[in-house]
Structure 1
Amino acid sequence: MSEFIKKLTPEYLDDVLVRLAHHSSAIEGNTITLPETATIILEQTLPNNSKITRREYFEVLNHEQTFEYVIDQIENNTPLSVSVIKDIHEKLTDRLQYDKGKFKVSENYIKGAEFSTAPPREVPELINQLIGNLNYKIDVAFSDKEIVKAILESHITFEKIHPFSDGNGRTGRMVMNYSLLENGLPPLIIDKENKGLYNQILHEAQIKVFPSESDIETFYNFVEPFLQNEKKRIESFNYKEKNQMINYDGIEKENIDRRSNSKKSQKRDLER
């Protein structure tokens, strides 16, 4: 739903990118702080922190090119597909993995999990099934809640399949946001403070052959406050933009205060 994307202001897109990059990476153990993430992505500079590793730096930075790809694809009405999922993984693991954008060829495991991930030979078919099931459930959904629940169920399944050798968590959360934005819903950013509960919800659903309705409802109740807060955040950024426009002779011009301090937002503003 490209119309929904067009309603998101450049400043909001910068804001959500920074928070998504920080929290999604932090859930996987990345130690870069939120202010440092903003410095890396918005100011294109390296924070003055000698403890930041090369891997941590690119885990955060790679979210920029990935998020831009996601927005571009949705604006072009590109549906979620195997190739889109592989592209998301390739961009998120750029300069980090030799097999970026390729499904795993050997067994992998989730630390502490009481179940096995999918065998490599089954991954292509399972991901195709995941996309097909997701599309069907979205097509027959009668409310936004049902759409969100379908997307959450697919996320549970994606993480259980664990289709790539590494980077499955960050990829799965970006794919989940692709589906949300594609369906005109706000993005979901699970903050690092809720990492334990998030992993517990996933694990309890994944130890079964298929997640139960109760598992999905529990997941929905967990994320619903995040989605509601994101709606308010979108409204706040939209309100800010509208009230920073000055009309002269019927022509809208930007108030100087509207200009973003970030290079990325400045570039977008010039393109508008």
Structure 2
Amino acid sequence: MHLPKDYLDDLLVRMTYHSCAIENNAITLSEAVSILLYRVIPGKISVHKVYELENHRLAFNYIIENIDQELTISLIHDIHSLLLDRLNHERGRFKSQENAIVGARFQTATPSETHSLMYQWIKNLNNQIQQAKSPDDIIASICSSHFEFERIHPYADGNGRTGRLLMMHLLLQNQIVPLVIQKENKHEYIQFLEKQDANGFAVYAVSIIEKEKQRYNAFLNSLPKE
């Protein structure tokens, strides 16, 4: 899939802004543009909030640079390590203590279970994608795997941002434009996760991805003709 620079810049801003906003980072869209594209920190913004955006930019770029690399534990650790740089001392390592998702009706995996569950998660996901017969089947598999990832909750922090970037990696790797979950849809997204409604989330994702295709094509059409 050809990814024009302007589209990548646009995607970087939207993925970073919305994913961080879902995790309660209150930086505005215009501030995100300033930080991510122009490397200027406007006004009095906390260092923590800036690190969250800057780290997301680094993880986003890492995925684009390694888009053809197969999904492995090492790749996932690398993404998480970049996302949590300067923010968490356990970055790039599976959790050492039990954790929980606020409001969830299920328990996350224990630290002793996490390593084997994550290896099985990758194996199952790769098998599902290989057996998929259409792009919609691939999207459904990736959406279902996202729920499984969040249910395992393999890291002490940053699971949501890591999981959403992994979906981007998997979709692009399979020639499908990314799923950008906007902060305005946070409640709906959280409801899907809490109810473990993978089918509903897949239907939602397909509709959002269709709109993303139009945006992607608009950037393609704006490229100079040879």
1:229 to partner: Cα distance: 1.1
% identity of equivalent residues = 44
Deviations 1:67-92, CA, capped at 9 Å, x for gaps = 11101111xx2101111110000001
CA distance in 2: counterparts of 1:223 and 1:241, whole angstroms:
27
| RMSD after superposition | 1.0
SS of the residue 1:101 aligns to: coil
State the Cα distance separating 1:114 from its structure 2 match: 1.8
Q: Which residue does 2:176 correspond to in 1?
A: 185
Give the match for residue 89 of structure 2: 98
Residue number among 86, 102, 107 corresponding to 2:77 in the alignment: 86
Alignment of 1:99-248 (within 5 A): 99-205=90-196, 215-242=197-224, 245=225
| Runs of 4 or more consecutive aligned structure 1 residues displaced over 2 Å after TM superposition | none
Instruction: List per-residue Cα deviations over 1:37-70 (Å, max 9, x = no partner).
Output: 000010001012x2x2221111111111111110
Look at both structures and tell me which one has the larger radius of gyration over its CA atoms: 1
SS across alignment from 1:184: coil
8 A contact 2:144–2:202 mirrored in 1: no
2:26 is the counterpart of 1:31: yes
Q: Deviations over 1:201-236 (max 9, x none)?
A: 01101xxxxxxxxx3221112122210111111100
When the two structures are superposed, what TM-score results if normalisation uses the length of structure 2? 0.97
C-alpha separation between the residues in 1 aligned to 2:106 and 2:217?
Answer: 41
Partner Cα separation in structure 1 for residue 119 and residue 62 of structure 2: 21
Conservation of the 8 A alpha-carbon contact between 2:34 and 2:41: yes
Give 1:35's aligned amino acid.
S
Counterparts of 2:51 and 2:120 in 1: how far apart (Å)?
A: 31
